[in-house]
Each structure stands twice: as structure tokens, then as C-alpha cells.
Amino acid sequence: MTGLLTGDRPYSMADWRGGTQSLTEEYDYWIDEVEGTVPKDLNGTLYRNGPGLLERGGVSLAHPFDGDGMICAFHFEQGRVHFRNRYVRTAGFLEEEKADRLLYRGVFGTQKPGGWLANFLDTRIKNIANTHIIYWGGKLLALWEAGLPHRLDPATLETLGLDNLDGLLGEHDAFAAHPRFDPQTQRLVNFALKPGLNTRIHLYEFAATGECVSQPVFQIPGFAFIHDIALTPHYAIVFQNPVRLNPLPYLLGLRGAAQCIQFNANEPTRIWLLPRAGGAPQQFTMPACFVFHHANAYEAGDEIHIESIAYSHFPTLDPGTDFREVNFASLPASLLWHITIHRPTDKVISTIVDDRPCEFPVVHPAKVGQPYRYTYLAAGHDPKINAPLQALWRRDRHSGEQQFWSAAPQGFVGEPIFVPRGLDQGSFLWHGSQDEDDGWVLQVMYDASSHTSQLLIFDAAAIHGGPIARLHLKHHIPYGLHGSFTTY
């Protein structure tokens, strides 16, 4: 433990803040500082996305989610790992790079310098391609939910341009950043929102070739901010959080669009079952909460089970607050919830599974939409206290057993990625070992003591033993969002 810690906090703000610095350099090297052993049968590429640039022209962004997308690729080859990072050359990134200043506002509160007048009525949106990255149908795509995907070269990470998915999407369409891979149908399922007085939800299913094979459209009443879906064999499930959008302060140049979202604790959260085959959406309600991410869902007789990460209300930053000074303990905690929908009675039972703050839940790829046993999550060091993510946590839904490994006080972690053992090159992830703990968990950790990041590899069956390998990078990686592993 370091002397920097105040009270019983398992981290210091100064340490945490190190991971909010931009990484402007682009690297390309074999990682040769390795502790432990990289499994020789772990082959493929881990792609990760996240905001890489947290300021521009000496001006800090107001929120990390406004940062330009930077892709990291960890390529595993027979026990060796190659690292490469590249910014997505979006149109806005290139313009701002040239001007060396912010030319666009961000959705989460970043304003152009010059006060409200400089931002007044500027509703141009910069697609920052910073949320997720997937390889599907022969394409590597960087995703951001309010715009089109950007296609990248899988080997060099060079940006090839916007991709309308073979004409499926129009120039101004959105495409969510949360596709789900369905092991039963071997399809990729994703959605897109068309806002309005009512919200239209397009549900897209793609065959392995990349061809869109199903695209029903649903309509639900009112505004919706939906970040993720859960999948079952018959349904895509979305949560309509009880929020309204009052765009006036945004239009006037006073606030970012997401800072105009008002949470209404007196309204329920609406759960919508969208039949994947098309048809009327089915509505259920639960007490007000805000959900970004789902762990998984499955059908069991008359019931539908969903596990999600819920906040007591929308976690936003007020204008004027510096996100680097945020008081984590005052933010709503993100907790794992189990939600059971009993279809014959319309009854919904929602319970908090555990009081440890957590985010970025993941299950074995073969269990998506199916009953499952293990949930892997990034978690806070202490239960009950909201804090940055510093640990890897595995919950056994059958026995209640937990495995936990913490990088506190100076380590800060991101999304865990589960890779099953026994994958051949070119195979889907769900074709590896079917045992839910037979594989590895990959997690990027920022180490404040050296201001560098590491890729951690865990044996999924023995999380509490700590990483079996630590790959030391020559630099840090700013806190990221989502990524995926592919055997190509």
C-alpha cells in the first residue's frame, strides 16, 4: 500500500487520474517484457476500443466518452504478443488534428472553446468511433452508437472509411455499439435507434458472410436512450430507462446533449421484449433505474431471466465539473441485478445480486442467450463503496461462489474478455471448449506506479490466483470501453 491513500480508500485520485491522460503516440512492437507465460494455444487478436484523446489544442474534454476512438490490437501468435494502436481517422479527427483545436461539441458535455455563443445552435455531430470494435463478415468495424461504423484494416488498423454495411444504412443513420453474437443461429445481432416523439428501433441480424438476413422495425412510445441489448432465442430485450430529453440547453450551447437527459425516478424502467421474428413489442416494467449494460438473458418456461448492471439514476456530470476530480463515492453505484419476467402474470421481480460495484459483465460466448453459470466482471475493490474498477470478479450463479483478484491500490482495470480454450484459426468463439471456465480472461490494467498499462491473462478457472501472465506495455493506455477477440 502506498502512503498516498486517504482514509480507507483502496486508490488515490492522483493514481486514478493517470489513466485519463491521452495517448498521442501510435505504436507497433512485439511485447517482450512478459511476466509468467502466454499460453501457446491462445491464438488470435484482441481488439479494443476507447477514447484515446482526452484533450485537444490544450483544452480538456468535459467527459471521457467524448474522446476520439483509439484502437489497440494485441495479436497472439504461439506464445508471443504483438501490440499496435491507431486512432480511427474519422472525418472529425482529421479536421481537428489539422486545426489543432476542438471544432465539434461532444455528446457528453465537451464544448468548443469560446463559451455558449461559440456553441449556440451547433448541432453537428462528430462520429468519434470510440465505443466498440468487432470483426464480422470479413470486416473490422469500429462502432459508435450515434453514427455509422468505421471500417479498418485488421492488420494495420488503417482507417478505410465509413461503412454503410453494403447499403443497409443511410448517411445519417445510427448503428448501436452493442452487437451480440448468437451462438445458436451463428448470427450477429445489433440495433439502431431513430429518435422522435416515438422511438423506432431497427433490429438487424447478420449472417457470418456479413449479409443482413433479418431487419424488423419496432416502435416504442417516447424518448429512449438505449445503449445495449440482451438476446434470447426469441427476443431482443431493451431497457427504456425513465429519462426525458430537454434539448433546449443543448441547442443554446449551454450543455451537451447527454447533460440534457433528465432522469425521472417516479416513472418505471420499461423492459421491452422485441420478437426477433418481428411483431408487437411486449412491455414490462420495473422500478426506476438506469441500465447501460446487460450480462446475459435466457428463456426458462414461462419466464425470462435477465442480468444487467443498473444504476439508481443516470450517472451524468454537471456542467462545469472536471471529470478528473469526480467524487466516485457520490456517484450512483453500478450493481449487478437479476430480473425475472413471469410472462403469464406480467410480474417482474428484480433483485440486487451483490453490493459490489461492477461493470462490463461477460459470459462464455456459447452461453449468450442461454442459461449460464459464470459471470465475469470488472469490479470495485470494496463492496458497498462506489469506486473505480480495480478487480476481476467471477460469480458462480449455481453455488454463489465468488473468485476475485484485485489490482488495488495502484492498478485500474477495464472490460474482461473471455476466450475459450481450443479455438482453431477462423472458428467462432463459441466453437471452443464449452466449459464455462475453460479458457482465459484478458483484461487491460493501468498501473499508476509506472504510468504504463499491462495486458493481464487469467486462467478463467482460477481468477483468485491472479494473472498467469502480465504483458508490460512501453506506455499507458487510457481507460477504454469495449473490445472483442477474434481467431482471424
Q: Is 412 in the site for ligand 3ON (CB under 6 A)?
A: no
Q: Which amino acid is at 38?
A: V
Among positions 285-314, residues that touch ligand 3ON (CB under 6 A) are 292
Q: Is 135 in the site for ligand 3ON (CB under 6 A)?
A: no
CB of 261 to ligand 3ON, least distance (A): 7
Q: Is 326 in the site for ligand 3ON (CB under 6 A)?
A: no
Count other C-beta atoms under 10 Å from residue 445's C-beta: 23
In terms of CB distance, is 68 or 359 closer to ligand 3ON?
359
Q: Is 16 in the site for ligand 3ON (CB under 6 A)?
A: no
Q: Is 131 in the site for ligand 3ON (CB under 6 A)?
A: yes
343 φψ region: left (φ > 0), alpha (ψ -120 to 50), beta (else) = alpha
Among positions 77-116, residues that touch ligand 3ON (CB under 6 A) are 107
Q: Is 65 in the site for ligand 3ON (CB under 6 A)?
A: yes
| Contact of 117 with 95, CB cutoff 8 Å | no
In terms of CB distance, is 256 or 281 closer to ligand 3ON?
256
CB of 364 to ligand 3ON, least distance (A): 22
CB of 25 to ligand 3ON, least distance (A): 21
Binding residue for ligand 3ON, selected from 53, 146, 348, 366, defined by CB under 6 A: 146
CB of 279 to ligand 3ON, least distance (A): 24
User: Which among 17, 143, 5, 6 has a CA at the least distance from the CA of 69?
Assistant: 143
Grid coordinates standing for 128?
A: 468519434
In terms of CB distance, is 245 or 254 closer to ligand 3ON?
245
Q: Is 348 in the site for ligand 3ON (CB under 6 A)?
A: no
Beta bridge partners of 340: 305, 349
Residues that bind ligand 3ON (rule: CB under 6 A) add up to a total of: 19
Q: Is 429 in the site for ligand 3ON (CB under 6 A)?
A: no
User: Which among 145, 338, 328, 143 has a CA at the least distance from the CA of 224?
Assistant: 145
In terms of CB distance, is 126 or 151 closer to ligand 3ON?
126
Return the ∠ at Cα 415 (arms to 373 and 183), rounded to 5°.
50
d(CA 437, CA 441): 9
Binding residue for ligand 3ON, selected from 258, 297, 407, 457, defined by CB under 6 A: 258
Binding residue for ligand 3ON, selected from 15, 68, 163, 359, defined by CB under 6 A: 359
In terms of CB distance, is 107 or 391 closer to ligand 3ON?
107
| Contact of 327 with 261, CB cutoff 8 Å | no
Among positions 389-408, residues that touch ligand 3ON (CB under 6 A) are 389
CB-based contacts of 196, cutoff 8 Å, min separation 6:
none
Binding residue for ligand 3ON, selected from 141, 168, 193, 407, defined by CB under 6 A: 193
Which residues are near ligand 3ON by CB under 6 A?
65, 107, 130-131, 145-146, 174, 193, 195, 225, 227, 245, 257-258, 292, 359, 389, 479, 481
